[in-house]
Chains A and B, each alone.
Chain A
């Protein structure tokens, strides 16, 4: 069973966002595998451990992304592919077309990705890739069982829980709760150094600039106004509860109709 994982490198969620000259500063920032993609890497390795095959981790980005690809290799993925070409923008249309070009030339039985990235958070790329490859997909899965030619997945649909069965090949995006990602072991880290990491550009994917021309562009970025600490309530517990009830009723109008 051949498995591909769509992986993005993101800011560690502990990081603050700082603007320098109107752009998000990457100075001194710790980068990690997007947490949702980490579940995808873990799930891919578990499927391989059960059914055999290979796990390929795939990223679009610059050379800095190699460190996260190596982390995935150290966890147990077999090979890594980095699509690195400055002509590919951050637009989801562009990125998904580049990934789909690779995967249509290198088909897999199972493709895994994260539910969304914790940086740009648009949640588009994996689903676009599935559609471009004409594959079924299940997003936000909290459980996945793969068998020969079929898979069963459980997904969260705004509180409702759906059990889905799809024919393979198919794509799945990982939701929290799918698994507990492993830490890379020391032997894993040593082995990862020898595992193949292939770098591809648009030419290698037989794409031209016009195939990946972005459809949207960022025009500016801003920070939200800082929130100030408000008021500490004082008095006895009962007095504080009275005050909270006043605040809540004023803010929500709950129960006001009775008095109207």
Chain B
């Protein structure tokens, strides 16, 4: 028997986030034969997002639109998600494992007295139809399989680990507006939101990550890495050593403390490869390491290694890629 799966669809600047399309794939797998996948879009002006989303095959959708939902506020979002849950009565609610998903999912899990499996990177359906979720533990040093013992289920999906759902030819879904009742007390007030600079890719969603370590030597040393990331439409990351040395912000840190990334290509520049850092990036599909020290442990896991000076190689590589793109 199929399940009813509600996907809370994330969007940013009027566009669907990639993880939302990946979550729809996950939802389809969980729903199974005879199941239903319903999307829920929460925000201020969501018409554009809903219109885009309607091209992706699933079984129905709701929008909770309110100007107070333009900025993430857990109290208001929880009210909106709970309105969707009440309407859809899902067996499973799926979120992206993003800043918002990580924050809102446990609230809904608490409200529903439900279990939650966070940060899934895979799922397996056994012969008896039971579903096991695969998720990294110890930042990817190991993986566990988890099952739900009772419903409803709450799941958060790690970006970059499932294929995006395939876009259909035409708009297929009609979205139904849903009212929501904000909580009476305003105990949580967003005073200010400073948005990340335009065009900057979110680290966990980027398909290419150019990462710098102690070998980058200074904050200015990150500039050639940024230029390489730009030409590859990627994001810049860092090792703990670089963050601790003050070369960059902690929000860029990749590792067991910090973010775990699984891009298509990871380029480690001047990173020795401490075990904590490897935990955060070793599931990347292709790893390239550039380091002066030919003994650096990073070479032990890199698909391609270059022993040399990053300040010579990275700018040359950027120029070469630019030349070929124009060429």
Contacts and interface: CB of A to CB of B under 8 A. Distances in A.
Contact of B275 (A16, A137, A170): A16
Given A121-B136, A247-B288, A13 B115 contact: no
Interface in A216-252: 216-224, 227-233, 237-238, 240-245, 247-249, 251-252
A254 B301 contact: no
B232 A245 contact: no
Interface in A11-38: 11, 13-14, 16-17, 19, 24, 35-36
A92 B78 CA distance: 19
A2 interface: no
B208 A230 contact: no
A249 B324 contact: yes
A86 interface: no
Interface in B265-301: 265, 275-276, 279, 282-283, 285-288, 299-301
B47 interface: no
B189 A165 contact: yes
B193 to A, nearest CB: 5
A11 B138 contact: yes
A146 to B, nearest CB: 15
A53 interface: no
B193 A255 contact: no
Interface string A37-58: 0000000000000000000000
A131 B138 contact: no
Contacts of A130: 107
B146 A136 contact: no
Given A219-B132, A221-B137, A232-B305, 16 more contacts: A13-B257, A92-B115, A118-B139, A122-B117, A139-B102, A157-B72, A165-B189, A165-B191, A176-B257, A217-B147, A218-B144, A241-B313, A248-B288, A249-B324, A252-B232, A254-B321
B75 interface: yes
A139 B192 CA distance: 16
B207 interface: yes
Nearest to A19: B142
B292 to A, nearest CB: 13
Contacts of B144: 218, 220-222
Given A123-B106, A244-B317, A251 B306 contact: no
A224 B75 contact: no
A217 B142 contact: no
A258 interface: yes
Interface of A: 11, 13-14, 16-17, 19, 24, 35-36, 91-93, 96, 116, 118-125, 127-128, 130-132, 136-140, 142, 152, 156-167, 170, 175-177, 213-224, 227-233, 237-238, 240-245, 247-249, 251-252, 254-255, 258
Contact of A175 (B243, B250, B313): B250
Contact of B102 (A123, A163, A167, A245): A123
Contacts of A138: 188
B119 interface: yes
Contacts of B279: 13
Given A140-B99, A255-B321, A258-B325, A176 B250 contact: yes
Contacts, number: 271
A159 B196 contact: yes
A119 B138 contact: yes
B302 interface: yes
A122 B116 contact: yes
Interface in B61-118: 71-72, 74-75, 78, 98-100, 102-103, 105-107, 109-111, 113-118
A240 B142 contact: no
Nearest to A214: B149
Most buried by B among A228, A241, A242: A241
B193 A216 contact: no
A14 to B, nearest CB: 6
B233 interface: yes
A237 B313 contact: yes
A-B pairs with lowest CB-CB distance, top 3: A215-B115, A159-B196, A255-B325
B95 to A, nearest CB: 12
A216 B117 contact: yes
A66 B117 CA distance: 28
Contact of A230 (B99, B105, B250, B304): B304
Contacts of A223: 141-143
Given A92-B106, A159-B202, A233 B138 contact: no
Contacts of A93: 109, 113-116
Contact of B302 (A96, A218, A230): A230
Contacts of B132: 219-220
B23 interface: no
A161 B257 CA distance: 19
A91 B113 CA distance: 12
Nearest to B104: A127
A254 B232 contact: yes
B222 to A, nearest CB: 15
Contacts of B253: 176
Given A177-B250, A254-B325, A224 B143 contact: yes
A221 B145 contact: yes
B308 interface: yes
